[in-house]
Chain A
Amino acid sequence: MDFELNQEQTMFQRVVRDFCEAELKPHAAEVDEVGDMHWPAIKKMADLGLLSLQVPEQYGGAELDTLSASIAVEEIGRVCGSTGLSISAHNGLGCGPIVRWGSDAQKLAYLPQLIGGDVLGALALTEPHAGSDLLNGATTTATRDGDEWVINGQKAWITNASVAPVISVLCRTDKEAGSRGFSMILVKPDTAGVTVHPREKKMGLKGSPTHMITFENARVPLENLLGDEGSGFYQTMQTLDSGRISIGALSVGIAQGAFEEMVKYALERHAFGEPIANKQAIQWKIADAEMELEAARTLVYKASVLKDSGRDYTRMAAIAKLKASEVAEKVCFDAVQIHGSYGYSREYPVERMYRDQRLMTIGEGTSEIQRLVIARGVIKAARG
């Protein structure tokens, strides 16, 4: 067992960190304040490969292993949660399903544009009344009419919807078939009958656009079906497994950013005649944060490596995401605490990080769902 990154991964990490420090960090507060990403930086990401993390080289992608992709998302999250979320969603949810299940024609039609830096990808699963329970609750339908699908319904909390040239939409195509009755269909947001609603007003991650989408008799060609008809629910579960690793990585990144701010401030701030870093009460928080961060990062890396090994990683992805998201909350909480009143003010970045991390235990499956996934796995194995 070797816990060292290889030379290639070390070089990736360094380049991504240099990029994030120079191109994203100086704009992170503004991105949060204004509620939009810093697009010149997104454009530059294309050349590096940050917009095509796991897209095959033949389509112009960086074709990275999952561990490197996790490192990239972690590094972006370390300086800017909003950008981290949008880039994570773009790669894992936007590009991921097209890479995995798209036909050659679909890949050629969408991937070059998706990775070019002017747009970001999106996936629409959640609905206003169905999040954790998509199987029973999702009501968006697609019915065949001649050579077209006719889509009706509503999707909610869709990251990047307003900046995506195409969205993979989970639709019920056979109401009687249960989990075999869903299909993923590619829909361009400018299709007649599709409405992308204004940005949601959120607690954090404000620079990352989140939207509701309505479909009213929206017609798309039959060939926009992604993969096999009836496999949509299966595709969703696969995509979420992989997305969880990425949200775990993003959580580690946000926590790492807060951790660094915490230590820096503890050394700067004096009380009772010395830096507060000398005080045991502060040291314990720093020690706990370091320990939890190491644990979370190790789990995210392990889930990443497991995924690439081709083995079942569902449980490990849930474990990594659950741990990392809860660590992010704790570390950001303590980072604010160490900053005192300044931590509650927008003058210091930990205020933003604390708000940004709050989504981590909700998106890509709540902590409650992660526990369900983990426990089911354990019990199923114990039953044999």
Chain B
Amino acid sequence: MSIIVFTRSTPDTAAKVEVDGSGNVTWGDAATVVNPWDEYALEEGIVQAKNGGGKASVIAIGGEMHNDALKHSLAMGLDQAIRVEDDALDASDALAYATAASAAVKKVDDAKLVIFGKESIDVGTDQHAYMTARKLGWTMLSYVSQIIEVDYEAGTIKVEKMYEQGKQVVTSQLPAVITVMKEINEPRYPSFIGIRKASKAQIPVWSLADLGISAPTAKTQTLAFNNLPAREVKTEMIEGEPEEQARILVDKLLEEKVL
């Protein structure tokens, strides 16, 4: 039994990300981090593989920068890491990503569960997870906050999902693709022994030929990146006694329809 977690390197959330003069997205010298949502997916992958007596693999799709996320994953305790890269693959297109991701899942022995973080923090998208499930023809369970029970023999999984209105418990068939919320666990820190192993690990790269697929046509096209328009901030100091200041403040908040 195998569990597969997908991850990617994203700019540090503390880094200043902007579009430079040539229209490229940059974050200066700031390091990348594991997509923060994926930390919960990686932790859950480790836990579920251990509970089920299987193996946890982590896959990233894209260039060498994603090796950092994969090494971090190995240092946390994932059993193996794989990177999918091909010049013909435009992984920024969700459908192209999902096509490669689903082919990679099929190449891993006995995969029963695929785990994604809730979304990718850099591009703010989660559709690649749903598309991967569709490409595989597997059940999709989103916003999972707890895996209550997995029965590999019976081929079922019971999870708690979060909604804006509340929570829902569902049982579904395996294999399945899930996206997980931060409520699901507390991700571990990589151990020093894990780091030692990870820093020595050679991460295999699978091409589209290795996956046995031809280059998927990207359905979307990125035309340009633009910086957000600068926000104008006006500061006004309210004078007077505290009661007077409070009255003026409340009036202004009502006027601006904040209250």
Measured CB to CB, the residues of A under 8 A from B are 6-8, 11-12, 14-15, 18-19, 44, 47-50, 53, 57, 62-64, 68
| Residues of chain A contacted by B195 (CB below 8 angstroms) | 8, 11-12, 15
Give every chain A residue within 8 A of B198 (Cβ-Cβ): 11
Given A8-B199, A11-B198: A47 and B191 interface contact (C-beta under 8 Å): yes
Residue of B with least CB distance to A15: B190
Does B50 touch A at the CB level, under 8 Å?
no
Q: For residue A72, which residue of chain B has the nearest CB?
A: B192
Quote the shortest CB–CB distance from A60 to chain B (angstroms): 9
Residue B75 is within 8 A (CB to CB) of chain A in the complex: yes
A8 to B74, CA, bound (A): 13
Asked if A15 and B189 sit within 8 Å, CB to CB, the answer is: yes
Tell me, yes or no, whether B16 is within 8 Å of chain A by CB. Answer: no
A49 and B193 contact, CB distance less than 8 A = yes
Q: A11-B75, A14-B31 are in contact. Are A48 and B199 (CB under 8 A)?
A: no
- The answer on a CB contact under 8 Å between B193 and A57 is yes
Give the distance to chain A from B160, nearest Cβ to Cβ, in Å: 26
Q: Enumerate 19 A-B pairs (CB-CB under 8 Å) in ascending A order.
A: A6-B199, A8-B200, A11-B71, A11-B72, A11-B75, A12-B195, A15-B190, A15-B192, A18-B189, A47-B188, A47-B189, A47-B191, A48-B190, A48-B191, A49-B193, A57-B193, A62-B193, A63-B193, A68-B192
| Shortest distance between the CB of A18 and any CB in chain B (Å) | 7
Contact B31 A62 (CB under 8 A): no
Which 7 pairs across A and B sit closest by C-beta, in order of nearness? A49-B192, A62-B192, A8-B199, A11-B195, A7-B199, A48-B189, A15-B190
Residue ID in chain A nearest B195 by CB atoms: A11
Instruction: Please determine whether A44 and B189 come into contact, CB atoms closer than 8 angstroms.
Output: yes
B106 proximal to A (CB < 8 A): no
Nearest CB in chain A: distance from B177 CB, A: 29
Rounded to whole Å, the gap between the CB of B47 and the closest CB of chain A is 14
A49 to B194, CA, bound (A): 10
A57 to B193, CA, bound (A): 8
Within B45-59, which residues are at the interface with A (CB < 8 Å)? none
- Select one of A6, A7, A14, A64 contacting B192, CB under 8 A: A64
CB distance from B57 to the nearest CB of A (A): 20
Question: Does A62 lie within 8 Å of B189, measured CB to CB?
Answer: no
Q: What's the minimum C-beta distance from B39 to chain A, rounded to whole angstroms?
A: 11
In the complex, how many residue pairs between chain A and chain B have their CB atoms under 8 Å apart?
A: 43
Chain A nearest CB: distance from B197 CB in Å? 10
A19-B189, A63-B193 given. 13 additional CB < 8 A pairs? A8-B196, A8-B199, A8-B200, A11-B195, A12-B192, A15-B189, A15-B192, A44-B189, A47-B191, A49-B191, A57-B193, A62-B192, A68-B192
In the docked arrangement, what's the CA distance between A49 and B75, Å?
12
How distant is B195 from chain A, measured CB to nearest CB, in Å?
5
Most chain A CB atoms below 10 A, which of B71, B191, B193, B195: B195
In angstroms, how far is the closest chain A Cβ from the Cβ of B190? 5
Residues A62 and B191 in contact, CB atoms below 8 Å apart:
yes
Q: What is the bound-complex CA distance between A6 and B199, given in angstroms?
A: 9
A374 to B198, CA, bound (A): 40
Interface residues of B in 186-224 (CB under 8 A from A): 188-193, 195-196, 198-200
Q: In the bound complex, how far is the Cα of B196 from the Cα of A68, in angstroms? A: 11
A64 to B194, CA, bound (A): 12
Q: Which residue of A has the minimal Cβ distance to B198?
A: A11
- Taken together as a complex, chains A and B put the C-alpha atoms of A18 and B200 apart, in Å, by 22
Taking CB as reference atom, which chain A residue is nearest B75? A11
In the complex, the answer to whether B191 meets A11 with C-beta atoms within 8 Å is no
B71 to chain A, nearest CB (A): 7
A363–B129 Cα gap in the complex (Å)? 56
**Whole-angstrom distance between the alpha carbons of A62 and B75 in the complex?**
13
Q: What residues of A have a CB within 8 angstroms of the CB of B190 in the complex? A: 11, 15, 48
How distant is the Cα of A19 from the Cα of B195 in the complex, in angstroms? 14
In the bound assembly, the distance between CA atoms of A151 and B13 in angstroms comes to: 57
CA–CA, A50 and B71, complex, Å: 20
Q: How far is the CA of A18 from the CA of B193 in the complex (A)?
A: 17
A48 x B192 contact (CB < 8 A): yes
Cβ of A19: which chain B residues have Cβ within 8 Å of it?
Answer: 189
For B31, the chain A residues whose CB sits under 8 A away are: 14
Please name the residue on chain A nearest to B199 by beta carbon.
A8
Q: Which residue of B lies closest to A46 (CB)?
A: B191
CA distance A53 to B75 in the complex (A): 16
Instruction: Give the residues in chain A near B200, CB-CB below 8 Å.
Output: 8
Query: Complex formed: what's the CA distance from A49 to B31 in Å?
Result: 23
User: In whole angstroms, how far apart are the Cα atoms of A57 and B195 in the complex?
Assistant: 13
**What residues on A are CB-neighbors of B189 within 8 Å?**
15, 18-19, 44, 47-48
Contacts of B191 in A (CB 8 A): 47-49, 62
- Closest chain-A Cβ to B95's Cβ sits at a distance in Å of 34
* Complex-state Cα separation, A12 to B196, whole angstroms: 9
Q: How far is the CB of A44 from chain B (nearest CB, A)?
A: 7
CA distance A64 to B193 in the complex (A): 9
Which residues 228-252 in B have Cβ within 8 Å of A in the complex? none
CB A10 to nearest CB in B, in angstroms, measures: 9
